[in-house]
Amino acid sequence: MRYVTAGESHGRALVAIVSDVPAGVPLDAAAIDRDLARRQHGYGRGGRMAIERDAVQILSGVRFGRTIGSPVALVIANRDWDQWLDVMAVSGEPNPRARVTAPRPGHADLAGVLRIGADDVRDVLERASARETAARVAAGAVAKSLLAELGVRVVSFVTRIGGVALETEPDPREVDQSAVDGSPVRCPDEGVSAAMQAEIDAARADGESLGGVFVVAAVGVVPGLGGYAEAGQRLDARIGSAILSIPAIKGVEIGDGFASASRPGSAVHDSILYEEGRGIVRPTNRAGGIEGGMTNGEPVVVRAAMKPIPTLMRPLPSVDLDTMKPVDAAKERSDVCAVPAAAVVAEAELAMVLADAYQDAFGRRSVAEMREALERFRDGLPR
Ligand SMILES: Cc1cc2nc3c(=O)[nH]c(=O)nc-3n(C[C@H](O)[C@H](O)[C@H](O)COP(=O)(O)O)c2cc1C
């Protein structure tokens, strides 16, 4: 299973096409919309979130609530497109006053115009904007639904916003996703949630922006997904690439990641024990569910670092690309902090990688075929 997206931030709509979708995956627009809403909310989001209420339209690949093995096309309208016709129309002449010539440090603006030779940063920023991640979340909902059919649940929660961090991360098996979603910053601890919101308030008052850290995890994953024999099979590499493809994500760890580097091996690796009836058990999961490029049957635990939002209300120095004179960087309507939303995008990315890995292992044609192969594989595991 894989996806492509199209669409600009203030264009008519965002589009996702998910291909290689097995037949028989339950899919309805309301379930996708729930994830779209989870991506839109979160303390620290900008004014646009009040305008947009994302709703998906399923154009193809689904009959009467189930996929039929053909590509699934999804469309999310940009509700305020008609306010942007003088800037984003497909034909006619652009409004010269709407040109953007002061690239924002940290965004795709400067490197983008240098890449494509544009004289208007808007040609770049409209697509580089993380508005595109709404289409990813819609595509990821297809993967999540397939995974749910195979007994896998994908969860996420925020562990740090700026200087405020959760001290002890919960075991993803015990995370109540609806309780997490009840927190405005999607953090499982109420006290820390409140401190994170205060941190965002202070940043907003200062014209600043904030980044942070989140965990995205998959629970109920069978061992042996991915592979050790070829570089392209390694699941940690595939997950790392998918999570780093999210705008503003600058670091990814699997399991204990960087912390492992300073500990001796006996405090890093997870013992292998056998218990009658339960089979092989791992008393710890420091590896984050992946050994040798494969799932090992423990929850897959991924931690990602998001940098602060590049658009600042107190902008950094930039240059005007027309005159090369110093100016303040451009200001677009912007989030102060989008770590809770990025975690929802990461659920979609992790789900897509895992759905594809399940298809590699258990077949690509239908949910029924995959379930049967999965059961046969499970029956062969040591008990
Ligand atoms: C969910 C989400 C929302 C974002 N919102 C904004 C925003 O409102 N303003 C902004 O400047 N950057 C925002 N970003 C970050 C930029 O999209 C990102 O920094 C930019 O595309 C440059 O890519 P890079 O940071 O990976 O280098 C957001 C990112 C995500 C994942």
Domain architecture of the chain: domains with CATH = 2-379 (3.60.150.10)
pLDDT above 70: residue 48: no
pLDDT confidence tier of residue 375, bands split at 50, 70 and 90: very high
d(CA 40, CA 257) in angstroms, rounded, equals: 29
For residue 209, the tally of other CB atoms under 10 A from its CB is 24
36 alpha carbon – ligand 1 mean position (Å): 17
Average pLDDT, the chain: 96
Average of per-residue pLDDT across 9-18: 97
The whole-number pLDDT of residue 187 equals: 98
For ligand 1, atom 22, the nearest C-alpha belongs to 107
**Poorest-pLDDT segment among 91-95, 161-165, 291-295, 312-316:** 91-95
pLDDT above 80: residue 139: yes
How large is the C-alpha radius of gyration of the chain? 22
**Which helix or strand (DSSP H or E) is residue 53 part of?**
none
247 alpha carbon – ligand 1 mean position (Å): 5
d(CA 25, CA 47) in angstroms, rounded, equals: 35
Structure tokens at 260: 């492992």
Q: Is the CB of 341 under 6 A from ligand 1?
A: yes
Judge contact between 110 and 118, C-beta under 8 A. Answer: no
Judge contact between 109 and 321, C-beta under 8 A. Answer: no
Ligand 1, residue 307: give the atom nearest the CA. 25
List of residues 6+ apart from 230 with CB closer than 8 A: none
Q: Is the CB of 334 under 6 A from ligand 1?
A: yes
The whole-number pLDDT of residue 97 equals: 84
Mutate to test the pocket of ligand 1, among 38, 129, 208, 347 (most ligand atoms within 8 A of CB): 129
Query: Which letter does DSSP use for residue 211 in this model?
Result: -
Q: Is the CB of 311 under 6 A from ligand 1?
A: yes
For the segment 89-110, what is each residue's pLDDT rounded down to a tens digit?
A: 999 998 888 899 999 999 999 9
Structure tokens at 344: 């929802």
Average of per-residue pLDDT across 351-361: 98
51 alpha carbon – ligand 1 mean position (Å): 19
Longest dimension (CA), the chain: 75
Q: Is the CB of 335 under 6 A from ligand 1?
A: yes
pLDDT above 90: residue 80: no
Structure tokens at 258: 């960087």
Structure tokens at 29: 């627009």
Q: Is the CB of 44 under 6 A from ligand 1?
A: no
| Helix spans in the chain (H) | 29-40, 48-51, 85-88, 109-116, 122-128, 133-149, 177-182, 190-205, 235-244, 339-362, 367-379
Structure tokens at 222: 């069978």
**Poorest-pLDDT segment among 107-111, 139-143, 275-279:** 275-279
Judge contact between 192 and 219, C-beta under 8 A. Answer: no
98 alpha carbon – ligand 1 mean position (Å): 21
The whole-number pLDDT of residue 46 equals: 82
pLDDT above 70: residue 21: yes
The whole-number pLDDT of residue 47 equals: 66
Mutate to test the pocket of ligand 1, among 161, 210, 309 (most ligand atoms within 8 A of CB): 309
Ligand 1, residue 247: give the atom nearest the CA. 26
Q: Is the CB of 251 under 6 A from ligand 1?
A: no
For ligand 1, atom 11, the nearest C-alpha belongs to 311
- Main-chain dihedrals φ then ψ at residue 105, nearest 5 degrees: -55, 135
Closest alpha carbon to 353 in 285, 307, 310, 302: 302
- Main-chain dihedrals φ then ψ at residue 168, nearest 5 degrees: -120, 120
Indicate whether this model's pTM tops 0.95: yes
pLDDT above 80: residue 49: no
pLDDT confidence tier of residue 52, bands split at 50, 70 and 90: low
The share of the chain scoring above pLDDT 90, in percent, equals 91
The share of the chain scoring above pLDDT 70, in percent, equals 98
Structure tokens at 240: 């790392």
Average of per-residue pLDDT across 255-275: 97
Q: Is the CB of 110 under 6 A from ligand 1?
A: no
Average of per-residue pLDDT across 142-151: 98
Judge contact between 249 and 243, C-beta under 8 A. Answer: yes
Measure the CA dihedral 127/133/136/137, to 10°: -160
Structure tokens at 18: 């998910």
For the segment 219-258, what is each residue's pLDDT rounded down to a tens digit?
A: 999 999 999 999 999 999 999 999 999 999 999 999 999 9
